Amino acid sequence: MKNKIFKNMEWWILISAVLLSIVGFVALYSASQQLELTYFKRQIIWFSISIVIMIITMLIDYEFLAKISPVFYVIGLISLIAVLFTRTINGANSWFNIGFFSFQPAELAKISVILFLSSIMVKIQERDKQEINVFWKLLIILAVVAVPVGLIVLQPDYGTAAAYLVATVLMLFVSGVDKKYIIIALLVVIIAAPLVYNFVLPDHAKKRIDVFLNPESDPKGSGYNVLQSKIAIGAGELTGMGILNGNQTQMGYLSPKTTDFIYSVIGEEMGFVISGAVVLVYVTLITRALYVAKTAKDDLGSYIAAGISGIFLFHMAENIGMTLGLLPITGVPLLFISYGGSSMITSFICIGLLLNISGNRKKTIFIK
């Protein structure tokens, strides 16, 4: 029976994640030269821990995980509330620091929200799939997402909050929600955007949008990072300047080069060939995740896989887009590649869930 599990799994999902991690190791090795390879060494440790957690996730039936997801959801909310009372780092209260170890609860809470939201959607559709279009039931679904998103916005971390919303939209789309709700939501966003900009966003968030629209307006201030990023990527040309040879990377012009702008390091030192390959590997990962959503044995598996696909899609598009100056800077990491234990563990839990769902497309034995 275990052979059937492994036979059914979408191995390209795991292969894609490992390939991206390897590129991340190379980029971090170069980017952390001045720091005695601290981030490079730590990332290898996080990767090793993440693989173990992924295997455990892969072997525990996702239906069981969905059943206990309310517990995870409540723990996630408590952690998101508690982190608001921690010390502010870079203008945000997003991290728990415990000695040399720190983690971001908003990253780990993604899993609990996707699992809990998927289980609720399945319960709503038990009798009739069209129940998802009953307005008050749709409000329940949105409320489940709105609470953690609201807490994340208070940190503030608008990028991570947006990732939750993209995942939710994709899950609702897969569930067969009436397109009129999607159209209404788009209209609300369009109407609300200028109001949020003028009356809700803090000054630093407004400045990021202004700089996105015209980075040359403040080349030595808010526009500095994105301008240096574009210079680095452009300097890499086709094959790159070579590992450890990037001017922007090695001379400290890119910041933070181990997290937000790790793709700029790849573009400068490895060139268009590798940076383009990174995009192709991401596309492979996301399309295979969507295929898992399409072929899952039940709606629960479909919704979980769709939510994970939304997370991967948003992080790829936003991080790469902001390094190219195509999207505003939000501090969203490039999953599997950017330095970070929280994002690495969360990402590989997602991989474990996708392998779990794909392996269970036929009757199999799982640990419960």
DSSP state at residue 154 = T
pLDDT tens for 152-211 read 999 988 899 999 999 999 999 999 888 888 888 888 878 887 887 777 777 767 777 777
- Supply the pLDDT for residue 93: 85
Residue 352 has pLDDT above 60, yes or no: yes
Q: Which residue has the higher pLDDT, 307 or 225?
A: 307
Q: Which residue has the higher pLDDT, 158 or 118?
A: 118
Tokens of 296: 């899952």
Q: Which residue has the higher pLDDT, 24 or 38?
A: 24
CA distances from 198 to 151, 195, 205, 207, 217 (A): 21, 5, 11, 12, 20
CA distance 113 to 324: 30
- Supply the pLDDT for residue 256: 86
- Supply the pLDDT for residue 363: 45
Residue 361 has pLDDT above 90, yes or no: no
Find how far residue 277's CA is from the centre of its chain: 19
Q: Where are the domains of the chain?
A: 2-359
CA distance 271 to 184: 42
- Supply the pLDDT for residue 196: 77
Residue 366 has pLDDT above 50, yes or no: no
pLDDT tens for 212-267 read 777 777 777 778 888 999 999 999 999 999 999 999 999 988 888 999 999 999 99
Q: For residue 102, what are the β-bridge partners? A: 97
